[in-house]
Chain A
Amino acid sequence: MYDAPTLESSVTTDNLKFTARNVHVYYNEAEAIKGVDVDILDKTVTAFIGPSGCGKSTFLRCLNRMNDTIPICRVTGDIRLDGQDIYDRSIDPVQLRAKVGMVFQKPNPFPKSIYDNVAYGPRIHGLANTRADLDVIVEKSLRRAALWDEAKDRLDSPGTGLSGGQQQRLCIARAVATAPEVLLMDEPCSALDPIATAQVEELIDELRQEYSVVIVTHSMQQAARVSQKTAFFHLGHLVEFGETAHIFTNPSDERTESYITGRIG
C-alpha cells in the first residue's frame, strides 16, 4: 500500500519561495496584521482563508508591495522572495510586481484589445524585441490561461467585450505574460459563475506546475479544492498553517475548526 500513488492534493516540494517573518501591517494606528510568520512553497497552491477583515488580503498585498500604494499603510517585518528582502531599498516595486503577478476579485481588463491587454506587460518590461516575439508571448499566455481557442479569432476586439469568466482568464493571461514566479489571486472567482469558476480552478491547478500560487478565497470549498497548503487568518493573526487536507479533516486549532465547520467563532 505504500507504493500507491498519493492523492493529487499532496504537497510535492519543499522549495521555499516566500518567507515572511514577524510581519506587522498598520493602517495609521490600527494594526491589521499582528506578527505573521509564513513560508510559501514553490510550485504549490497556498490558500489564505478567514472571515472578512481578518487580514488575509492585506497580507497577500504585502507580497508584491501593493500596500505601498496606500499612503496610510505601514509594513514592518521581514519578507523575502528567494532569500531577497523585497522591502529592501534596492528593490524596484515595478520589477517585483512583474515577478509576483496579481489577479483581482473583479476582472479588470484594460480598455484595449485582447492582444494589447496581454502584450502590455511584456512591452513595458521589454520582454519582446520584435512583433513576432510578442505574438509568441501573447499566444503562449492566452493558451496558458485556457483562453486561446475562444480568443484567437478576435484578438483585436476589446477585452471588455468578453464574458466575465473570459475577462478573468484574460487577466490571468495578462499576469502570466510577464513570466512571473508567483501569482497572487485575491478572490479571483467571487464574481464568476460556477462553470467559469471551475475553469479558473482547473487553470490554477495547471499553473502550479510552473508557479507558486497564493489565493485568497472566501469559499472554503474552493480552498479545499485548489490548494495544497492552507493558512487560516483570524483578527490579524495567522492561527493555523498546514496541509489543506489536514486543515479540513482534523485542524489543530479550535478557532480553525469553528470557522471551517461553519460554527460561530
Chain B
Amino acid sequence: MPDQHIASAFDRDLETIQAKIMKMGGLVERAISDAARSLETRDEELAEEVRGRDKAIDKLEELINEEAARVIALRAPTARDLRLVLSVIKISANLERIGDYAKNMAKRTSILAQMAPVNGSPAALRRMAREVEEMLKDALDAYIQRDINLAHEVMQRDQDVDQMYNAIFREFLTFMMEDPRNITACMHLHFIAKNTERMGDHVTSIAEQVIYLISGEMPEEPRPKGDQTSLDASITPSS
C-alpha cells in the first residue's frame, strides 16, 4: 500500500504530530534518567532541573492534543490514519504521566538529600529506572518503526520491573524494621519505587497502543502482573 496521501498536507500534519510524540518521548526518557541519577548521586541541582523541565513535557501533551483534534476535525481520518490519531492522544497522556512520576522522584530526591543515606537502595532504584527507560525507548522505537514484535516484547518486560519492585519493597521493609530512624527515608524511597513501577505500566500502555495502531486490535494476552506486594501477608507487623 502506498505510504503517501493524495493530499500531501495530510501527510505533513501526521508527521508533525508524530515528531512531537518523539520529542516528548525524548524529554521523558531524559527526565527518568536524570531523576534516577540525581537520586543516586544526591545531586540537588540536577533534581531541581528535572522538576523545571516537566513544564515542557506538559506543554507538548497539550499541543499534541490540539493538533490531533484539528486533524480529526479537518481531515476526518479513517482506518490506520484514525488509529494513528487516537494512539497519539493516548500515548501523549501516558508520557505526561511518566514525566510526572519522574518529577516526583526529583522532588523526593531533594528531600532525601537532607537525610542520612540508606545503603544500597539508590543503586537498586536506578537499575529499575534504567530498565523502565530502556522499555520506553524500545516502545517508542516500536512505534516509529511500526514493529509489532518489539511492542509485544516490551509488554512482557514489564514483569521484570514488577519483580524489581517486589525485591525493593521487601528490602525497605527490612530496613524499616531494623531501625525506625530509617522510616522517613524509606517511605520516600518506597514511593519512588512504586512510581517507577507505575511508569512501567504506562510504558506497557504505550506498547499496547503501538499494537493497536499496527494491527487494529488491542493485544489479547493478559497483561503480565508481577507486583505481588498487595497480596503479600509478610507486610503485617506481626509476621
A interface residues with partner B (beta carbon < 8 Å) = 220-221, 224, 248-251, 254-255, 257-258, 260-265
Given contacts A249-B216, A250-B217, A263-B1, contact A257 B6 (CB under 8 A): no
B interface residues with partner A (beta carbon < 8 Å) = 1-7, 10, 76-83, 216-217
By a CB distance below 8 angstroms, the chain B residues around A265 are 1-2
By a CB distance below 8 angstroms, the chain A residues around B2 are 258, 263-265
| Nearest CB in chain B to that of A254: its residue | B1
Nearest CB of chain A from residue B165's CB, rounded to whole Å: 31
Contact of B78 with A264 in the complex, beta carbons under 8 Å: no
Most chain B beta-carbon contacts within 10 A, residue among A224, A248, A262, A264:
A262
By a CB distance below 8 angstroms, the chain B residues around A262 are 5-7, 10
The dominant DSSP class at the B interface is loop
A-B contact pairs, 6 of them (CB 8 A): A224-B78, A248-B79, A248-B82, A249-B83, A263-B6, A265-B2
By a CB distance below 8 angstroms, the chain A residues around B78 are 220, 224, 248-249, 260-261
By a CB distance below 8 angstroms, the chain B residues around A260 are 78-79
Most chain A beta-carbon contacts within 10 A, residue among B3, B76, B79:
B79
Contact of B3 with A250 in the complex, beta carbons under 8 Å: no
Given A261-B77, A263-B4, A263-B5, 17 new contacts (CB under 8 A): A221-B76, A224-B78, A250-B83, A250-B217, A257-B1, A257-B79, A257-B80, A260-B79, A261-B80, A262-B7, A263-B2, A263-B3, A264-B2, A264-B4, A264-B6, A265-B1, A265-B2
**Interchain CA distance A105-B70 in the complex, whole Å:** 32
By a CB distance below 8 angstroms, the chain A residues around B76 are 221
Specify which of A221, A251, A264 is in contact with B79 (CB 8 Å cutoff). A251
Nearest CB of chain A from residue B213's CB, rounded to whole Å: 11
Nearest CB of chain B from residue A197's CB, rounded to whole Å: 15
Nearest CB of chain A from residue B80's CB, rounded to whole Å: 7
